[in-house]
Amino acid sequence: MKFNTKAIHGGLKEIDPAYGSVMPPIYQTTTYSQSTPGGHKGFEYSRSANPTRDALERAIASIENGNHGMAFGSGLAAIDAVLKLLKSGDEVISTNDLYGGTYRLFTSIFEDFGIKFKFIGMENAEKIDEYVTDKTKLIWVETPTNPMMNIIDIKKAAAVAKKHNVLLAVDNTFATAYLQRPLDLGADIVMHSATKYLGGHSDVVMGTLAVKDKELADKLYFIQNASGAIAGPQDCFLVLRGLKTLHVRMQRHCENGKQVAEYLSNHPKIENVYWPGLKNHPNHDIAKKQMDGFGGMISFTTKGNNYEEAIKIVENLNIFTLAESLGGVESLAGHPASMTHASIPKAEREKTGVVDSLIRLSVGIEDGDDLVADLKQAIG
């Protein structure tokens, strides 16, 4: 099955046997009747498993070309589950230009449990090798990175992980499975904030994992059930519905992303435009190799790097809504230094390029000309 078919039918092997409903019903239930102790139909308690969540988890595995999927209450809950594969004393090598909440989870929660993190630039993925010790258990890659849109070569990162027998996990939130399938490139775990493109309509907070390996899946299912940060059935239904249009939405995100990135690149007041589809993007070649398109996430800075001017631009936008988050059908704009990345110390964030004038756009699927006109009036 090709991707566009999987987005609609993937994992949904049987139509509801009771009434033939085309969409999996929302099983809003905590428990399931048993004919005799242990005599159930595969479901006994909805933390352990729920039929609506089960349908979504199969769909997630399908679009990522994995064998097992898991849905959690948020993207961070999914990352939290991955980190719980580790023990005190273990080391993680992570991308340095990282979603702020992931950085906070690693440094403010898991460091206190004795896990050590090394945050490094990974644009040259062979270099990861230099940081591996006998304590390293996990390599955490985010690509494209948030918000600098750096691209990390997943195949090369996987080669390092395989060589040292450590796990490679990829945060695939920005690209989605439509544009990039990390498991096919050698990653062990692919993670999503389904809050973003998978849900796609800015109405659900959720996280997912997908893996190929059964033994690894069993460990993660154990953690999912034992820690309990599961996604609810109503939210699973909404993300299942979102997945059915993922491919058409992503096509339009890519088209509009291109139009906006090209407009900004030619604007006299704009200093840098970070979008992996631009030929002058430092990792354009890797992006071309491992992605099927360049997506709708764009960051840019203004000449003079003025904090107040950047604030003014995001306030002046009309169609782009000033808001955190990304990946919905509507366009959003954010100012990372004061919003999503406010939890990262200034010196730390500036090292990775999150300067005062940086603006991040989540380009939606409205008319591309309208989006450009909105930017034009806001930037001046």
Ligand X SMILES: *Cc1c(COP(=O)(O)O)cnc(C)c1O
Q: Which of residues 94-153 bind ligand X (CB under 6 A)?
A: 99, 101-102, 142, 146
Among all residues, whose Cβ is closest to ligand X?
75
CB of 1 to ligand X, least distance (A): 27
Q: Is 352 in the site for ligand X (CB under 6 A)?
A: no
CB of 16 to ligand X, least distance (A): 29
| Partner residues linked to 115 by β-bridges | none
**Of 104 and 267, CB closest to ligand X:** 104
Choose the stretch contacting ligand X; rule: CB under 6 A; options: 62-70, 189-197, 215-223, 307-315: 189-197
| Partner residues linked to 72 by β-bridges | 207, 230
Q: CA Rg, the chain, in Å? A: 21
CB of 250 to ligand X, least distance (A): 15
Choose the stretch contacting ligand X; rule: CB under 6 A; options: 59-67, 169-177, 257-265, 313-321: 169-177
**Of 146 and 272, CB closest to ligand X:** 146
How many angstroms separate the CA atoms of 3 and 10, rounded?
A: 9
User: Residue 224 has which token pair?
Assistant: 């999912």
Order the strands of the 332-334 sheet from edge to edge.
270-274, 297-302, 359-362, 332-334, 321-322
Fill in the amino acid letter for 36: T
Cβ atoms < 10 Å from Cβ of 133 = 10
**Of 80 and 90, CB closest to ligand X:** 80
Residue with tokens 């990175």: 145
Q: Does the annotation mark 112 as catalytic?
A: no
Q: In the set 95, 180, 195, 352, which binds ligand X (CB under 6 A)?
A: 195
Compose the 199-238 pattern: x for residues touching ligand X by CB under 6 A, - for all others.
------x-x-------------------------------
Q: Does the annotation mark 16 as catalytic?
A: no
DSSP secondary structure code for residue 231 in this structure = P
Q: Is 196 in the site for ligand X (CB under 6 A)?
A: yes
**Of 148 and 378, CB closest to ligand X:** 148
DSSP secondary structure code for residue 66 in this structure = -
CB of 173 to ligand X, least distance (A): 4
Q: Does the annotation mark 87 as catalytic?
A: no
Q: Does the annotation mark 80 as catalytic?
A: no
**Of 103 and 263, CB closest to ligand X:** 103
User: Residue 124 has which token pair?
Assistant: 């040259």
Choose the stretch contacting ligand X; rule: CB under 6 A; options: 131-139, 160-168, 170-178, 275-283: 170-178
Q: Which of residues 301-330 bind ligand X (CB under 6 A)?
A: none
SS3 content of the chain, % helix, strand, coil (to 5): 40, 15, 45
Active site residues: 47, 99, 171, 196
Q: What residues make contact with ligand X under the rule CB under 6 A? A: 74-76, 99, 101-102, 142, 146, 171, 173-174, 193, 195-196, 205, 207
